[in-house]
Amino acid sequence: MSSSASAPARPKPRIANQLIVYDFDWSLADQDTDRWVLEVLAPALRRRMKSLKATGTVQYTDLVAQMMRELRALGHTKAEVLDALKGMPFHPAMRRAVLEMKHRAEPSTDFLVLSNANSVYIGTILAHQGLERVMQEVITNPAEWSKEDPELLVVRRRVPPEGRQHGCTVGCSANMCKGEELTNFLARHGKPFDRMVYVGDGANDFCPILRLREQDLALVRRHRGLEARIAKDGASAGLKCQVQYWTGAWEVEEIFATLT
C-alpha cells in the first residue's frame, strides 16, 4: 500500500485489552448523587450545603457526612435515601454503551469507577441499573448505615484525616487523590492495558488524566470543571492523552462504537 502525504501509513496497533475508567457524578450517572439526595428530600439542606461549601472551610467529604447527619435529624430515613438514588437520572445510552462494550469479544474491557461520591450511593445505583457486576472495582469514599442508628448514612474520607495524607500537588481534595488511586489500581492489576479511556467531567478528574499515555483517551464532558482545567493547565502540565469532548451520554455511546 502506498502512503499519501496527508496520511502517514502507520499501522493501527491492535487493541486487545482496555481499561475504561468512569468518574461517577455527571459522567457515568447523569446527575450528582450528593446534591440530588438533598434536592429530592430536603432542598433547604441543599441550599445549606451550597452556602457552607462556598465558605471553603469544610472539606467536601466531611461536608457530605454532616449533611447526612442533618438529614437524619430532620427525620429522613434510609428507605427515602435509597429511593432518591434509584430515581436519579441515569441515561439509558450510557448504560447501553457500557453493556455493549463489556459484551464485545475484542477488545476485552475492564471497567473501573473512580469517584468522590461514596460506596453506598454508587453501589445502590449500579445495582439498580444492572451494572454492578460489570465494574471490576469501585474506588470511592467508604460509607455505611450506622450501627447505632440504621437510618443514618455515615460517610468517611477514602484517605482518613488521621495518618498519612496523599501528596497530590495537582489539586485533589484531601479525601482522595484520583491520580494516585488510578496508579495504585494499575499496579494492583499487574498487566498493562493497550488503551485506557477516562470518562470524566470535574476539575478533580484532571489529576488522573495527567497519568494517561499518548495512546489513551480522555472523554471530557463539556461545560464543566474538567474542560476548563484542561484549557487552563493542560499544555503546561504536560497532558499527553488524546481528548474528545461530549455533552450527552448518547455521544459517549457513539464514541465507544468507534473504539475497536
Of 67-75, 122-130, 194-202, 231-239, which part binds Mg ion (CB under 5 A)? 194-202
Binding-residue total with Mg ion (CB under 5 A): 6
Q: Report residue 120 as a C-alpha cell.
A: 453506598
Of 23-31, 105-113, 128-136, 243-251, which part binds Mg ion (CB under 5 A)? 23-31
- Shortest Å, Cβ 23 to Mg ion: 4
The binder of Mg ion chosen from 20, 21, 22, 25 (CB under 5 A)? 25
Partner interacting with residue 107 (select from Zn ion, Mg ion, none; CB below 5-8 Å by kind): none
- Return the beta strands (E) in the chain as ranges: 17-22, 108-118, 135-141, 143-145, 153-155, 195-200, 217-221, 242-246
Residue 227 touching Mg ion (CB under 5 A):
no
Q: Evaluate whether 64 touches 57 at the Cβ level (below 8 Å).
A: no
Partner interacting with residue 170 (select from Mg ion, Zn ion, none; CB below 5-8 Å by kind): Zn ion
34 is catalytic: no
Transcribe 40-55 into DSSP letters. HH-HHHHHHHHHHHHH
Q: Evaluate whether 219 touches 252 at the Cβ level (below 8 Å).
A: yes
Residue of 196, 178, 186 whose CA lies nearest to 115: 178
Residues that bind Zn ion (CB under 5 A): 168, 170, 172, 177, 179, 207
Of 18-26, 71-79, 123-131, 173-181, which part binds Mg ion (CB under 5 A)? 18-26
83 a known binding residue? no
Rounded alpha-carbon distances, angstroms, from residue 144 to 10, 11, 120: 51, 50, 7
The rounded distance, in Å, linking the Cα atoms of 211 and 113 is: 16
Partner interacting with residue 58 (select from Mg ion, Zn ion, none; CB below 5-8 Å by kind): none
Residue 253 touching Mg ion (CB under 5 A):
no
- Shortest Å, Cβ 13 to Mg ion: 30
Query: Could you report how far apart the first and last alpha carbons of the chain are, in Å?
Result: 22
Partner interacting with residue 26 (select from Mg ion, Zn ion, none; CB below 5-8 Å by kind): Mg ion
25 a known binding residue? yes
32 a known binding residue? no
- Shortest Å, Cβ 173 to Zn ion: 9
The rounded distance, in Å, linking the Cα atoms of 12 and 97 is: 23
Q: 245 forms bridges with which residues in the sheet? A: 220
Which residues of this protein are in contact with Mg ion, per CB under 5 A?
Answer: 23, 25-27, 201-202
Indicate which residues carry an active-site annotation.
23, 25
Binding residues for Mg(2+): 23, 25, 201
